[in-house]
Structure 1
């Protein structure tokens, strides 16, 4: 039996944001090696860094599958762990880690699997898998029967006069 948990984080979005949203910016990949170039599939290995605006992902290996056509690429990063960070419009950073991350720029979706953990605004969600929409800042988490979804909320600190 699987445990499902839907958790939606609604954060204030700033209409005064000066920079274009990260998902509209180019994606840059740096790695020690480009080891495989198959038809519409690229594989990078060792010290892989994927950057798009303020979004940064670090992995041991990255496979980019472009078989579905331009603009529909799928980025599959693996590592021990893969790490992710992104600055939000409110200046706070979202961080995540997992053994595998699948990024789909078209749907702006990041799927974390294997010891998945996402931290946002001081709160942490841990699960077997987490699906996160980087544009809407919404997530859903799911765990198998041997592990449960865990959420830790950190209270906001009050400023005492």
Structure 2
């Protein structure tokens, strides 16, 4: 049964879809209405109208905390909002969108962890779960149910093919 779930979840993001000129290799730009940074503690907090951009990757949130205690390239971005919204264009301009109460972006592993009413969509198909982990580099996802959400839901939208 776990193999079937894994297959269904990975089928959502096809193996031939990759972020063009990998977004994770692009600089990260952050805008917000407010920012407080503790250089000594390596923590930055951005609030109100927060937007993170890295190539075509965009995350919009109410609050962002960056923990840089592990050093450059190992920062962890923790965004919260009502909800936090993520979008990115894959090769061929295929949009991927997601939203959740919290999205955690781990630069070292190039992984987004969506938690709290998490939803990830691509090409009309979607996954809904308590927690969704999405690796930006490998385009792999995993989803988990939680106490409030008893099941993971995956909806596949069939491809419309024109009749010859």
Please, what TM-score do these two structures have when normalized by structure 2? 0.88
Cα distance in 1 for residues equivalent to 2:104 and 2:84:
10
Contact 1:100 1:113 in 2 (8 A): yes
Larger % of helix: which? 2
CA contact (8 A) 1:116 1:127 kept: yes
Any idea what SS the aligned residue of 2:71 has?
coil
- Report the CA distance shift for 1:121/1:11 in structure 2 as closer, same or farther (over 3 A): farther
Moved over 2 A (4+): 35-38
The CA RMSD over aligned residues, in Å, is 1.7
Aligned to 2:100: 98
What is the deviation of 1:10? 2.7
Greater length-normalized contact order (CA 8 Å, ≥ 6 residues apart): 1
Q: TM-score, normalised by structure 1?
A: 0.89
SS in 2 for 1:98: strand
With 32-41 and 48-57 compared, the bigger mean Cα shift is at 32-41
Give 3-state SS (helix, strand or coil) of 2:24's partner: helix
Secondary structure in 2 matching 1:78: strand
Query: SS in structure 2 opposite 1:144?
Result: coil
Aligned length, in residue pairs: 154
Native 8 Å contact 1:59 1:79 kept in 2: yes
Contact 1:12 1:90 in 2 (8 A): no
Distance between the aligned counterparts of 1:44 and 1:54, measured in 2? 21
- Whose strand proportion is higher, 1 or 2? 1
Partner Cα separation in structure 2 for residue 30 and residue 67 of structure 1: 21
2:156 maps to which residue? 153
Single out whichever of 112-121 and 33-42 deviates more from structure 2: 33-42
